[in-house]
Amino acid sequence: MKITKFFKKKPFIIAGPCSAESESQVLAIANQTKDYTNLFRAGLWKPRTSPNSFEGVGNKGLKWLQKVREKTGLKVATEVATAKHVEFCLKADIDMLWIGARTTVNPFYVQEIAEALKGVDIPVLVKNPVHPEIGLWVGALERLNKVGITKLAAIHRGFHSYKKSVYRNDPKWDMPIKLRERLIDIPIICDPSHIAGNTELIEDIAQTAMDINLDGLMIETHLEPKKALSDSNQQILPLELNSILHNLILRSNKLRDQKFRNELRAFRNKIDVLDEEIIGLFRKRKQIVEQIAILKDQNKLTVFQIERWFEILKTRKKYANNLNLDDEFITEIFDLIHKYSILIQTKNMRQ
């Protein structure tokens, strides 16, 4: 995939309200954020769960965005979900577009948007799909790339989860990392507002995004967050945004200092040895699992036995707690180990 970087400064900062509500609103927010941000965002067509919610001001907001650009010099962006939206935005000369999470999930919508953008050299930001399926995210970026759009970026806005959580959308930090593995050159911008769903967690999420070397932040800003017509729990004041940006610790991914480089290498060598040992242990475990499979087969015993699984979970959690390890982490690992044990046993029995 050929990607053209459309911004130089890192982190690239996008701010603005969830929804454009009036001309004076967008102008006031843009005025207050223009000195420390790089792009102004405001949704005009809002994908809402209920048809009774505010669904955005629609086309009339395009002029307001033009006014923002004219008065503040900021580039402006909005969300497109249909070919019609694209057409309106191109006519109004909007600088950048983004595709929302509810659109990325559907290849038909993305294809329609891509075709409406054929031959246009405009930056497009693609939010991750609602659920954690990396293929849909990559696929949407590829669809746009196929019609000739190279100024692409991904937006990490978290994932719907059934687990009880402090987040509105689970950050699943492994997903932006996986995306980076698949598309090495793609800039990834984190959207702490939609991950958090509240104002308290935004700073921490923004810092984590910087710590894992993401390229920018999209943060919803409003002058009266509580009165916002959409996402009123998660929008922050321009002043708060400024303070978050000011406090961000930016790290380098280059290893310049020789002493530091040597120290890091020594630690990494230790990790390499440990990981090899862990893999060796997995092999030993697998050999025992195969012997168990034979035994169960001879005795016509089912592969999966719930009591044994509960016992594994309970004891492994206890071992983890005794050693001060996160038991959620250990449970996840054993979930996977157990899944493969079952698979190995069923395969062996069929041979």
Please give the residue ranges that form the binding site for ligand PEP (CB under 6 A): 18, 43, 47, 100-102, 127, 157, 194
Tell me the pairing of strands 75-79 and 96-99.
parallel
Nearer to ligand PEP, 43 or 320 (CB): 43
CB of 145 to ligand PEP, least distance (A): 20
CB of 240 to Mn ion, least distance (A): 16
CB 168 within 8 A of CB 198: yes
Piece of the chain touching Mn ion by CB under 5 A; list 13-21, 88-96, 170-178, 316-324: 13-21
Nearer to ligand PEP, 47 or 132 (CB): 47
CB 305 within 8 A of CB 293: no
CB 79 within 8 A of CB 55: no
Nearer to ligand PEP, 80 or 289 (CB): 80
CB of 231 to Mn ion, least distance (A): 4
Q: Which does 100 bind (CB under 5 to 8 A by kind): ligand PEP, Mn ion, none?
A: ligand PEP
Phi and psi at residue 115, in whole multiples of 5°?
-65, -35
Size of the site for Mn ion (CB under 5 A): 2
Phi and psi at residue 164, in whole multiples of 5°?
-70, 135
Q: Which does 216 bind (CB under 5 to 8 A by kind): ligand PEP, Mn ion, none?
A: none
- Secondary structure class of 124 (helix, strand, coil): strand
How many residues does this entry show for the chain?
Answer: 351
Nearer to Mn ion, 98 or 334 (CB): 98
Nearer to Mn ion, 18 or 138 (CB): 18
Nearer to ligand PEP, 72 or 230 (CB): 230
CB 147 within 8 A of CB 110: no
Cα 218 to Cα 274: distance, rounded to the nearest angstrom: 38
Nearer to Mn ion, 145 or 238 (CB): 238
Task: List the one residue from 13, 14, 15, 18 that touches Mn ion (CB under 5 A).
Answer: 18
CB of 231 to ligand PEP, least distance (A): 6
Cα 237 to Cα 222: distance, rounded to the nearest angstrom: 5
Q: Which does 127 bind (CB under 5 to 8 A by kind): Mn ion, ligand PEP, none?
A: ligand PEP
Residues numbered 224 to 283 that lie near Mn ion (CB under 5 A) are 231
- Secondary structure class of 236 (helix, strand, coil): strand
List C-alpha distances in Å: 342 to 42, 287, 333.
50, 13, 14
Q: Which two tokens stand for residue 304?
A: 């999966």
Q: Which does 157 bind (CB under 5 to 8 A by kind): ligand PEP, Mn ion, none?
A: ligand PEP
Residues numbered 213 to 232 that lie near Mn ion (CB under 5 A) are 231
Nearer to ligand PEP, 173 or 334 (CB): 173
CB 157 within 8 A of CB 179: no
List b or e across 266-303, with b for residues whose CB sees 16 or more CB atoms inside 10 angstroms: eeeeeeeeeeeeeeeeeeeeeeebeebbeebeeeeeeb
Cα 62 to Cα 81: distance, rounded to the nearest angstrom: 15
Tell me the pairing of strands 12-16 and 39-41.
parallel
Q: Is 79 in the site for Mn ion (CB under 5 A)?
A: no
CB of 175 to Mn ion, least distance (A): 19
Q: Which does 65 bind (CB under 5 to 8 A by kind): ligand PEP, Mn ion, none?
A: none
Cα 348 to Cα 351: distance, rounded to the nearest angstrom: 5
Residue nearest to ligand PEP (CB): 100
Contact residues toward Mn ion (CB under 5 A) are: 18, 231
